[in-house]
Structure 1
Amino acid sequence: MRLGLAANRLHHATRDAGLFRWLRACAPAIRELGLELHAVGRTHDAIVRAGLLAGHPGLKRYPYGRDGGLMRLVAEVVGMPGEDRTLDGAIYLIDPVDPSSVFPEAVALKRQCVIHGKPFISTVASACDWIENERIHAGLDPDPAADRFHAFESQTLALIAHDAMKPQMLAFAAEHFDVLSRFARRVGTGTTGQRLNEMAWSRGWPQDRPWVDRFQSGPMGGDAQIADLVLQRQCQRVVFFEDPHVARQHEADIQLLERAVTTVTDAAVCITSPAMAARWMAAVRRRAALRRC
């Protein structure tokens, strides 16, 4: 498996920066999985200077961002015809106040990952969670250090979908109703929350209480309300089915929620597409079965 890798300066500027916290936690699994990390210049150089992943043949260097390194990652997420240059997704550890995080190539990297159903990972927590899920899919034993990501009974889950993606969100929630019901709380915006409640009531959830606590609709500020929960560390996981093909009047609110997730990089996991949500659920079920054995 090949992933693009980039990190804003905040995440590699100090010894305990986010990139290094992730690598120290997950380097053994990266080696076990034979994961290739195609790292943009400054990110690659920081890993080497820190002495991390030494000797790992899967660490590849790309040009600096200013020389087109991030643009190459975008093209390779899409895939280059006739060339062995296709990435399976991207890890981009974002500093929400770094101007480069909103450069066209940074925005395009996420968009193309979502369009092609590939992981786009923007927080340290998401990167650790994704590694554990891939370990489980590879048939490896659960890592006890990752148990915190599976302690759903003490966590809040946000379920958000744009209009064109609402049917897929409802289908996802119906298929995995048993697992999603383990979360201590579920929150959502406007219409999505109402339709999820109706689905839950049809499945036997008590009619006198909501399955999802509803906030305002997205255009009326619901994304901002959930962003505040994330910033207060009262929401640990966001499943956000975004429609990348439609311009939205409340784009700023959507970006606000995404920035909130990256602000609390060690505390929030974000899943950005139906394909990745399904893969997460498959790993959750397999991991739970292994833990029972």
Structure 2
Amino acid sequence: MNISLIAHDNMKEDIVELAKRYEEALSHHTLYATGTTGKRIMENTSLNVHRFLSGPLGGDQQIGAKIAEGNMDFIIFLRDPLTSQPHEPDVSALLRLCDVHHVPIATNQGSAEVFMKALVTTR
């Protein structure tokens, strides 16, 4: 499966911890991430992550292109609901593409855990 991992700045530690907890399950899939998130995951795990640009520099849109092409199975995007994001239109576009193309997206720790537990049980 093709899986994208994205996190706003205040959520990066949470996504790294999630990747560490589910490293074994994630290692069997093709992983994508926006720039800094992918770098942090690779620094803290043995996972190989295909990195796009940073979200504000177009990384969200690059992942959106993978969705539009039918090349993304699900996304974990840990969003910071309490901080205004300068690239909010890009974030909204990514969420819309997930809805249009029926790509599941987890936007918080609770839904990310559900996705990861489902991934573990399908192995």
Q: What corresponds to 1:9 in structure 2?
A: none
- Which amino acid is the alignment partner of residue 109 of structure 2? P
Which structure has the larger Rg? 1
Distance 1:195 1:275 in 2: 21
The count of aligned residue pairs is 123
How many angstroms does 1:182 deviate by? Answer: 1.2
Question: 1:260: Cα distance to partner?
Answer: 1.1
> Match for 1:168 among 14, 18, 21?
14
Deviation of 1:288 (Å)? 4.4
- Aligned pair partner of 1:195 in 40, 46, 57: 40
**1:234, 1:283 → 2: CA distance?**
20
SS in 2 for 1:233: coil
Q: TM-score, normalised by structure 1?
A: 0.40
Distance (whole Å) between structure 2 residues aligned to residue 158 and residue 198 of structure 1: 17
Structure 1 residues 219, 288: CA separation in 2 closer, same or farther (over 3 Å shift)? closer
Matched position secondary structure for 2:31: strand
Counterpart position of 1:4: none
Equivalent residue for 1:275? Answer: 110
Does the C-alpha gap of structure 1 residues 241 and 182 become closer, same or farther in structure 2, counting only changes over 3 Å? same
Who is 1:134 aligned against? none
Q: Describe the superposition over 1:248-277 as per-residue Cα deviations: whole angstroms up to 9, x where unpaired.
A: 111011111111111112xx1111111121
Q: Which amino acid aligns with 1:281?
A: M
Opposite residue 179 of structure 1, the aligned amino acid is A
Any idea what the Cα deviations from partners look like across 1:93-135, whole Å, max 9, x if unmatched? xxxxxxxxxxxxxxxxxxxxxxxxxxxxxxxxxxxxxxxxxxx
C-alpha deviations, 1:125-157, integer Å up to 9, x for none? xxxxxxxxxxxxxxxxxxxxxxxxxxxxxx210
Q: 1:215 aligns with which of 39, 49, 52?
A: 52
Deviations 1:203-257 (A, max 9, x none): xx5xxxxx11110101101000000000101111000100011111110111111
Deviations 1:26-68, CA, capped at 9 Å, x for gaps: xxxxxxxxxxxxxxxxxxxxxxxxxxxxxxxxxxxxxxxxxxx
Superposition pairs of residues 3-22 of structure 1, within 5 angstroms = none
CA shift in 2, pair 1:246/1:175, >3 Å: same
The superposition leaves residues 147-190 of structure 1 with CA deviations (integer Å, 9 ceiling, x where unpaired) of xxxxxxxx21000000000000000000000001111x111011
The verdict on how the C-alpha distance between 1:263 and 1:174 changes in structure 2, with shifts beyond 3 A counting, is same
Task: Write the distance in 2 (CA, Å) between the matches of 1:175 and 1:264.
Answer: 29
Counterpart AA for 1:271:
A
- What is the aligned-residue identity percentage? 33
Rounded to whole Å, the distance in 2 between the matches of 1:250 and 1:173 is 25
Higher relative contact order (CA 8 A, sep 6+): 2
| In structure 1, distance between residues paired with 2:40 and 2:90 | 21
CA RMSD between the two structures: 1.5
Paired letter, 1:199: N
